[in-house]
């Protein structure tokens, strides 16, 4: 009886593999939304001729990648849901802004969100929209990511403070097919 059930299992597994069902051997982890707010971030006064300012925000992933083995083939993506800058001064002189993810140990970045001014009306809030899902490659194995905010245009000439608020979703899918067979 035991030999018959083992043969049936072996034949079933062989049939699945022959049909290309490697997708049966995977694990998927997803955090629909992780948020962080950084209140009271100081920005320097812009000297004449200064056209850009940059600020880094550490974004926590925690133990998101714990269930994913190091040897597995992993697909990851990050989707920016919200990146908002709320300042104590008028930001209507900022023409463009962006937020990117910095690769650990390098200055290389991946763009994840942008802002373009559409009105000359006074505003104290910039809301950057996501540029779609970004493949993080090995970045999802980090416990935290650096988000780099950069603003360009006519910057405030006095020191200013802002709250940076961001929310993002992250997904990882690891294939075990090569580990099992």
Q: Is the pLDDT of residue 44 over 60?
A: yes
DSSP 83-123: EEEEESS--TTEEEEEEEEEPTTSS-EEEEEEEE----S--
High-pLDDT (> 70) share of the chain, %: 71
| More confidently predicted of 141 and 6 | 141
Per-residue model confidence as pLDDT tens digits over 138-177: 665 667 888 999 999 999 999 999 999 999 988 877 776 5
Q: Which pair of structure tokens corresponds to residue 136?
A: 């993080």
Of 4-8, 53-57, 103-107, give the range with the top mean pLDDT: 53-57
| Gyration radius of the chain over CA positions | 23
Residue 19, by phi and psi: left (phi above 0), alpha (psi -120 to 50) or beta?
alpha
Residue 164, CA atoms < 13 Å, CB-side half-sphere: 20
Residue 17, by phi and psi: left (phi above 0), alpha (psi -120 to 50) or beta?
alpha
- State the Cα torsion 148-149-155-157 to the nearest 10°: -60
pLDDT at residue 3 in the model = 40
User: Global pTM?
Assistant: 0.76
Per-residue model confidence as pLDDT tens digits over 102-133: 877 778 888 999 999 998 899 999 999 887 88
Residue 133, by phi and psi: left (phi above 0), alpha (psi -120 to 50) or beta?
beta
Distance CA 88, CA 103 (A): 31
């Amino acid at each position: 009886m035991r030999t018959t059930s083992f043969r049936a299992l072996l034949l079933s597994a062989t049939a699945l593999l022959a049909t290309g069902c490697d997708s049966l051997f995977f694990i998927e982890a997803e955090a629909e939304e992780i948020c962080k707010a950084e209140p009271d971030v100081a920005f320097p006064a812009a000297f004449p001729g200064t056209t850009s300012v940059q600020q880094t925000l550490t974004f926590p992933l925690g133990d998101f990648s714990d269930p994913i083995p190091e040897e597995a083939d992993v697909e990851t993506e990050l989707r920016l849901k919200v990146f908002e800058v709320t300042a104590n001064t008028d930001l209507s002189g900022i023409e463009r802004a962006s937020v990117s993810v910095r690769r650990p140990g390098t200055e290389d970045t991946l763009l994840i969100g942008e802002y373009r001014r559409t009105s000359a009306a006074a505003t104290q809030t910039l809301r950057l929209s996501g540029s779609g899902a970004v493949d993080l490659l090995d970045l999802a194995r980090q416990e935290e990511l650096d988000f780099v905010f950069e603003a360009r245009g006519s910057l405030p000439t006095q020191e200013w403070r802002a709250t940076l608020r961001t929310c993002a979703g992250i997904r990882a899918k690891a294939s075990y097919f090569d580990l099992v067979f």
